[in-house]
Structure 1
Amino acid sequence: MKKIAILQSNYIPWKGYFDLIASVDEFIIYDEMQYTKNDWRNRNKIKTPTGVSWITIPVRVEKLSQTINQTQISNNNWVTKHIKTLQANYAKAKYFKNHKDFVFDLYHQASKTSSLSEINFIFIENICNFLNIKTKLSFSTDYNLIEGKTERLIDLIKQSKGTSYISGPAAKSYIDENLFNDNNLNLEWMDYSKYKEYNQLYPPFEHGVSILDLIFNEGENSSNFLTH
């Protein structure tokens, strides 16, 4: 059995994103999807003394049909700004000193490209390594795409020799489960309701923040707070 997940890239995603990656054999980054404003593609949440706050990569939106992998950065100052923001809000975290060089080096790598998709991949790939996630990462551009939302997913799964597809629960609104049955493919849904709390700054506890929050607070123990 080969398990597949297919999802757009996000900027420094939350732990559930990495849990989904860890639960499959191949994770296909679907950055040929339309870029959506005010979404997770170019921003995420962190904890601050005054509550949860967004950090956002500034991007250029030049046309409505623009895809994620066509999206370019509009201002190169974002790297310095985000490093300063993380330093200001996580300096007191238990494992910040241990892992700030690792994280900030990813930002320096990211500063060398203007592609949002490439920036997201730098963080996703290296944080997977940090969490000891061995899943194969690929891109939808490695495969041929056909028309139809569910049909395209099924075809991607077949091309990647998958037998089972794991999806986030948000996709229940559009996935046609009957098509999976018709194609002898198993469909599973991720359950994000069983996470345990970790040592986090600035109560109350918040699960839905960037994975960097977990890394700075729990360090090498971070993978213990995933479910896969």
Structure 2
Amino acid sequence: MKKIAILQSNYIPWKGYFDLIAMVDEFIFYDEMQYTKNDWRNRNKIKVNEGSRWLTIPVYSKGFQNSNQQIKDTIISDNSWNLKHWNIIKQYYKKSQYFGDYKLLFEDLFLNKEEKYLCEVNYKFIKAINEILGITTKLSLSTDYQLISGKTERLVDLVKQANGTEYISGPAARDYIDADLFAQENITLSWMDYSGYPEYNQLYPPFDHNVTILDLIFNCGPDAANYMKMVK
């Protein structure tokens, strides 16, 4: 049995994204998809005393409504974004229990950068956070494979090319995935369940699950995985 997940790269994603990675044997970054504005590709939220706050990487676009601009081709438009984000993170997380343990690591990730493309930044952070959480799943790019036409057809074919026997999808894809196409190829189709996460000690109540994984790492440190599913 080989489990596969296929998903667009996101900026410092929430814990559910990393649980999906942990539950499969190969995770394929699907960045040959159209870049979408006001989405998770270039932004995420941190917990602050006023509630939550967006951190957004500014990018160039060709005009989002009629553009075929893909995520993998999306270029960062402001080279100072990283310093701004790091200063904001320090401001709100410096009093968290484990911020000091990870400060140098994330300071290096934010400030020592050479990335031109958004996807490069996303990959870098996701790979580093996987290491912190002890996730050893193989990471691949959709560009490593041949892509055919059709929404579901392409996903099925990617799983076949990766020698997968099970595809785990996020629940939002129920609206468009044709489950019969997976069944025809003897591929098990499973759905990720993001419910039932326990709360942990966040600095600023009320509790919010829908923030970047950095919140969990800075508040729980080596115990972070205990507040996740993290089971294959």
Aligned match of 2:91: 88
1:108 aligns with 2:111: yes
Percent identity between the two aligned chains: 60
Question: Any idea what SS the aligned residue of 1:28 has?
Answer: strand
The answer for unaligned runs of 5 or more in structure 1 is none
RMSD: 0.8
**Correspondences of 1:57-206 after superposition (within 5 Å):** 57-63=57-63, 64-109=67-112, 111-206=113-208
Output the TM-score relative to the length of structure 2. 0.96
Q: What is aligned with 1:47?
A: 47
| Cα offsets for 1:29-51 (capped at 9, x unmatched) | 00010000000000000001111
Q: Runs (4+) of structure 1 moved beyond 6 Å?
A: none
| Structure 2: runs of 5+ lacking an equivalent | none
The letter of the residue matching 1:12 is I
1:211 corresponds to: 213
TM-aligned CA deviation for residue 90 of structure 1 = 0.6
Contact 2:83 2:111 in 1 (8 A): no
- Name the CA distance, whole Å, in 2 between partners of 1:5 and 1:36: 20
Deviations 1:54-86 (A, max 9, x none): 000000002511000100000001011001000
**Letter matched to residue 177 of structure 1:** A
Residue 17 (1) aligns with residue 20 (2)? no
Q: Which amino acid aligns with 1:39?
A: D
Aligned length: 227
Supply the AA of the counterpart residue of 1:53.
Answer: R
Shift in Å, 1:108: 2.5
Deviation at 1:199, TM superposition (A): 1.1
Q: Which digits, 9 at most, give the CA deviation of each residue in 1:65-114, with x for residues without a partner?
A: 100010000000101100100011111111111111111211124x2111
Structure 2 Cα separation of the partners of residues 104 and 138 of structure 1 = 26
CA distance in 2, matches of 1:104, 1:66: 31
1:224 to 218, 223, 226: 226
Secondary structure at the aligned position of 1:55 is classed as strand
